[in-house]
Structure 1
Amino acid sequence: MTEAAHDRIPEIALDWHRAGRGAVLATVLETWGSAPRQAGSQLAISGTGEIMGSVSGGCVEGAVVTEALEALADGRPRLLTFGVSDETAFAVGLACGGTIRVLVEPVGDGPSALPPGLLADLVAARAAPRAVAYEIIPASWTRRLLAPGQDAAADARFRADRSGVEEDGRFLAIHNPPLRLIVVGAVHIAQPLLAIARLCGYAPTLIDPRAAFGSAGRFSGETILDDWPDEALAALAPDGRTAIVTLTHDPKLDDPAIRFALRSPVFYLGCLGSKKTHASRVGRLTEAGFSESEIARIHAPVGLAIGAKSPAEIAVSIMAQITAALRQG
């Protein structure tokens, strides 16, 4: 899947710098009120005034570009604070205004500029893809990259998917790998579930070796794998940003996927079926050598108990439970 340009701001800034066009990264550090863009949102500015991305939805981009060009000229970063009035916000299609603080960093070799090597390391981590936090201390303009497990505050922000300023003044910009949803079973519930997942920012993949079920006609435009579930999962290499849902009701298809998922770092595993069906599933997994704590990772019956009846309602309940596991787990 091609990554949209507005999601490639660090990459674009690095390309501009390497091409000799000059590059500046502007990043939202903090917001107050109803500011239109959240912390971590970025705008890249070239030395000729080209821009990609956004820090305010259009309210203050002009002022940021002016400051960025000055930063590129003197090689010094700066912190900017903007108050966006309700009237200004409304003029660019926003409901109301707020206040934002923006960090402007020229890419270069100056003593306080953003080092090109560090930006290249960030881009490489994003390409891997590998979770990484970009830490900057504005008081000293010191910077470093943090991996999961190196810093408690960064780890909390990795889990929450939320960039921001810590109490000690340092800013942590979180760059997580893309979210993925892997669905085993091209049944009727899978159709709305894949659509809802995509709207929630997931890259969905459907697995079903049964050609009649996993057809392009039933799932137009979706990524469909017709391998056996455990083989397909091994190729997909699910990670801690992956959710897996099994929907077939057929142990021959569901069980291989469940066994693989239980020994993987996925953050969510949900399985369709009644309590009776799940009890039988637990028995099979126990006989296969899985521990009680491993089996307890399974959300079954899948989805939040909201009284869902139709395929679309069940898909909503599943996506809600996945969201809860991601944000609150």
Structure 2
Amino acid sequence: MSIADHDRIPEIALDWHRSGIGAALATVVETWGSAPRQAGSQLAISGLGQIMGSVSGGCVEGAVVNEAMEAMEDGQPRLLTYGVSDDSAFAVGLACGGTIRVLVEPVGEGAARLAPSLLAALVAARATRQARGYAISLESWERRLIEPGEDPAVDVRLRSDKSGVEADGRFIAVHNPPLRLIVVGAVHIAQPLLVMARSCGYAPSLIDPRAAFGSAERFPGEEISEAWPDEAMAALAPDARTAVVTLTHDSKLDDPAIMAALDSPCFYLGCLGSTRTHAKRLARLRAAGVAEEALARIHAPVGLDIGAKTPAEIALSVLAQITQCLRRGA
């Protein structure tokens, strides 16, 4: 499962450096007030002035690019602060009224630069879904790539998915594995749900052994498994960065997937069906030996109650509930 292009900021910076045109990374390290992007948001800048990503949603990118071009020339990182600038708010400043600090790091060899080998190690970890904390001293520019379990401060930030500055002056950027969404049932709701999920940064996978449902014509470009749901779930191995949604209404298909999901650390499990349907589902799962604690993890009827009627509206309610669980906890 590939990382979406708009999230491939370190990868793109490394590609630009390796191509010989030069690269720098700009990262939001702190925010105050109504900042448009959170800490950890990144912008890659090439030596030709190309950009990917954002640090402010367009308010200060031009100024950051100019600073990055200079950083690539002199090899020195920069800590930049941007806030409200009244008449020039849309040129160099935040019209929203917030304040941000942005770290600009040129990629290359040299004590103050971001070493290509360190950036390559980060990219390799991201490619294999390994969580990492990127720590940099904002005074000495000393950098480390930290694995889970090596540093309590990094572990806390990885669990909360929140980058930021520590009391010791280090900025820790969180690089968690990309989010995944596993959908069981190639029904009408799945079509808008997969599109919406991808726009929100999820790598979606679709499971349906019924070839007529999970066809490439109905789901162009999607990863579709025709294996039985429990086998497909075993192959996909949902982790703590995975949401699972079952949509078939067929207990022969949904139940094996639900049981597999409950045996995993997935952060969300939602199941389509009415309250009566869910009551019957719970009875079957209890009879199969599933514990009450596990059953309590199931979100059903699936989605937030927003009065959704159409397949697209139901998909929206499902993705909203997934987001709520991801950001606020179950």
The answer as to 2:7 corresponding to 1:14 is no
Q: Which residue of 2 aligns with 1:186?
A: 186
Q: Provide the rounded CA distance (Å) in 2 between the counterparts of 1:328 and 1:309.
A: 26
Q: Provide the rounded CA distance (Å) in 2 between the counterparts of 1:265 and 1:87.
A: 50
The answer as to 2:293 corresponding to 1:293 is yes
Conserved? CA contact 1:159–1:326, under 8 Å: no
Conserved? CA contact 2:84–2:95, under 8 Å: no
**Amino acid of the residue matched to residue 212 of structure 1?**
A
Q: Which residue of 2 aligns with 1:200?
A: 200
Conserved? CA contact 1:240–1:265, under 8 Å: yes
Q: How do 1:238-277 and structure 2 match up within 5 A?
A: 238-277=238-277
Residues 84-120 of structure 1, C-alpha deviations (whole Å, 9 max, x = no match):
525434469x854543211122233433332332211
Q: Provide the rounded CA distance (Å) in 1 between the counterparts of 2:95 and 2:112.
A: 37
Give the secondary structure class of the aligned counterpart of 1:257. helix
Q: Provide the rounded CA distance (Å) in 1 between the counterparts of 2:309 and 2:317.
A: 10
Q: Which residue of 1 aligns with 2:142?
A: 142
Q: Which residue of 1 aligns with 2:38?
A: 38
**Amino acid of the residue matched to residue 76 of structure 2?**
R
Unmatched 5+ residue regions in structure 2?
Answer: none
Of 223-232 and 57-66, more deviation after overlay is shown by: 57-66
TM-score for the superposition, normalised by structure 2:
0.84
* Deviation for aligned residue 1:177: 2.0
**Amino acid of the residue matched to residue 196 of structure 1?**
M
Q: Which residue of 1 aligns with 2:55?
A: 55
The percentage of aligned residue pairs carrying the same residue is 74
Q: Which residue of 1 aligns with 2:80?
A: 80
Q: Which residue of 1 aligns with 2:302?
A: 302
TM-score for the superposition, normalised by structure 1:
0.85
* Deviation for aligned residue 1:18: 3.6
**Amino acid of the residue matched to residue 118 of structure 1?**
L
Unmatched 5+ residue regions in structure 1?
Answer: none
Residues 183-215 of structure 1, C-alpha deviations (whole Å, 9 max, x = no match):
111233333333332343323222211233333
Residues 41-90 of structure 1, C-alpha deviations (whole Å, 9 max, x = no match):
22333445554443344444444344334434443322122335254344
Number of aligned residue pairs: give it: 329
* Deviation for aligned residue 1:138: 0.8
* Deviation for aligned residue 1:267: 0.8
Q: Which residue of 2 aligns with 1:326?
A: 326
Give the secondary structure class of the aligned counterpart of 2:322. helix
Conserved? CA contact 2:303–2:317, under 8 Å: yes
Of 99-108 and 194-203, more deviation after overlay is shown by: 194-203
**Amino acid of the residue matched to residue 41 of structure 1?**
S
Conserved? CA contact 1:85–1:96, under 8 Å: no
Of 61-70 and 263-272, more deviation after overlay is shown by: 61-70
Residues 135-164 of structure 1, C-alpha deviations (whole Å, 9 max, x = no match):
112123222223344445434443443322
**Amino acid of the residue matched to residue 191 of structure 1?**
Q
Give the secondary structure class of the aligned counterpart of 1:14. helix
Conserved? CA contact 2:75–2:113, under 8 Å: yes
Q: How do 1:26-175 and structure 2 match up within 5 A?
A: 26-47=26-47, 49-90=49-90, 96=96, 98-175=98-175
* Deviation for aligned residue 1:269: 1.0
